[in-house]
Structure 1
Amino acid sequence: MKNILITGCSTGIGLETALVLKHNGFKVYASAREDKDVIKLKNLGFNAFKIDVRNKEQIASALSTILENDKRLDAVFNNAGFGQPGAVEDLSTEVLKEQFETNIFGLHEVTIQVMKIFRKQGYGKIIQHSSVLGIISLKFRGAYNASKYAIEGLTDTLRQEVIGSNISVSVINTGPVTSSFRENSLKNFNANIDIENSYFSKLYKKELKKRLESTKDNTPFNLPASSVANVVFKIMNTKKPKPRYYVTKATYILGFCKRIFSTSIMDKILNKM
């Protein structure tokens, strides 16, 4: 039975991926950073760990337990992450650092610890969860855009460095998918952005905050979390996974547009979104 470690399994894509893989016969090591979510995962029948990806010791402890149990690790899905909305000029350096601590530095820490295992055993699959916002940028998402672009750079480089080995590195560029991402983004927006004193105060209140607070998701091409879970399932069943997987039509369309349009034209298109 092949096994996999998945980070960020409290809700949404991480949880759905864990459920799909477990249902299809994989041994899933699911992790979350809150104790209550770890308990929930255990009640669902998972081998569950408390992992805040910003904590090296928690990552190392989980990997050690996996090796004690199975003597190997077949794959890792670096899914943990969050969004910090707000215009670039409204992002303090401290808030930007917080975005990177989880989305890029945490992901990197899991990756380098897993790579030691994969190099020793001679095989393994690394699946990095990026975004359509690792391909194009949208306004008021600067922190998140930057963290996903960083994932792209590290992943493209690592993929070259494992050529000739039995280690694969894949990135998933996910577009609009139903999850609790927007709800969590609203919390970060309210906590870390000085809305009242921003140049964009009126626009924040009229558009951004209203969209984040909405219980309806009218985003074009939106798909359920299972759309990502199915891609991870495909990767797990593929001998030679592709380096990149697009999820949702929005990712395909915007990825294509970036290849054919000039930067100035793309800016005008994206600024309307």
Structure 2
Amino acid sequence: MTKTSILITGCSSGIGRYCAEQLHQAGYQVIASCRKLEDVSELKALGLHCIQLDVTDKHSVHAALEQTMQITGGKLDVLFNNAGYGQGGAIEDLPTDALRAQFETNLFGLHELTRAVIPLMLKQGHGKIVQDSSVLGLVAMKYRGAYVASKFALEGYTDALRLELMDTNITVSLIEPGPIVSQFRANSFKAVQQNIDVEGSRHRDSYQKTLARLGSEKSSTPFTLGPEAVLKQLQKILDSKQPKPRYYVTKATYIFGYLRRILSSSMLDKIVSKGN
């Protein structure tokens, strides 16, 4: 029996790594990708197919896809676009280059890879594209404007792509996690420190609280789950002949997804403005 092949981006840690390891153990032909060579070597040592892929580098994207085709014998059943990070900071404090970098990773790199994969899936007559979005692709929160913008864009991008592929055997789904145990908070912490003038901002006090939270080893965010919660929804997509457009993960996503539908914008603003 031919193994189902799946290319997963962003496998250095967190959701990507967990899903890659677990699906490999379950018998899938997993091609994990990482931006750093040392992470590639680490996953290879665990017995996984792992390739270097920097989604912000066009040449890296196409070279990685070519390597993937060599491993799989020219086919790809599933693409899981998981790579991403969160740039924190108030929009007024956010350098344009930092916003551009957020989109380069969370949307433009994803687009480069997705656009290259679609012709392959059309030729083979089937395929599944899975996007790792966020509850912050459904509702906005302050001090996360760059990340929110990239995920709102991903939601619209994916909806349009799904419509355009309706007459094919390629399905497109979004996984929308709330808080998940990963390196996401630590990477957000670094991004704030690197790009935001915390001391010079009128939001300094709020930043200090946020940085203290991000710097904590243990998440204080309610409803936080482990990466296995994302794998559970990914597995549903893999097992389904006709996956759903959206899969929620964590109570936070279900709650805010519901509130977005029933509340006015002003009422929803009052609720989410309490978050930091």
Question: Normalising by structure 2, what TM-score?
Answer: 0.97
- Structure 1 Cα separation of the partners of residues 95 and 81 of structure 2: 26
> C-alpha displacement at 1:209, in angstroms?
1.1
> C-alpha displacement at 1:63, in angstroms?
1.8
Instruction: Write the mapping of 1:5-84 to structure 2, written as runs, cut at 5 A.
Output: 5-69=7-71, 70-84=73-87
Instruction: Write the mapping of 1:1-273 to structure 2, written as runs, cut at 5 A.
Output: 1-69=3-71, 70-205=73-208, 207-273=209-275
SS in 2 for 1:126: strand
Q: Which shifted more, 225-234 or 70-79?
A: 225-234
Aligned residues with identical type, % of pairs: 50
| Alignment-mate amino acid for residue 44 of structure 2 | K
- Structure 1 Cα separation of the partners of residues 120 and 228 of structure 2: 29
> C-alpha displacement at 1:67, in angstroms?
2.2
- Structure 2 Cα separation of the partners of residues 215 and 73 of structure 1: 37
SS in 2 for 1:19: helix
- Structure 2 Cα separation of the partners of residues 24 and 47 of structure 1: 14
> C-alpha displacement at 1:164, in angstroms?
2.0
> C-alpha displacement at 1:62, in angstroms?
2.1
Give the RMSD, CA atoms, in angstroms: 0.9
> C-alpha displacement at 1:66, in angstroms?
2.5
- Structure 2 Cα separation of the partners of residues 40 and 20 of structure 1: 16
How many correspondences in the alignment?
Answer: 272
Deviations 1:15-38 (A, max 9, x none): 001011111110100000001100
CA contact (8 A) 2:213 2:220 kept: no
- Structure 1 Cα separation of the partners of residues 55 and 98 of structure 2: 17
Unpaired runs of at least 5, structure 1: none
CA contact (8 A) 2:34 2:52 kept: yes
| Alignment-mate amino acid for residue 47 of structure 1 | H
Deviations 1:141-200 (A, max 9, x none): 000000000100110000000112110000011101100100111011011000011010
> C-alpha displacement at 1:71, in angstroms?
2.2
- Structure 2 Cα separation of the partners of residues 12 and 188 of structure 1: 17
- Structure 2 Cα separation of the partners of residues 227 and 212 of structure 1: 22
| Alignment-mate amino acid for residue 252 of structure 1 | Y
> C-alpha displacement at 1:257, in angstroms?
0.3
- Structure 2 Cα separation of the partners of residues 67 and 92 of structure 1: 38
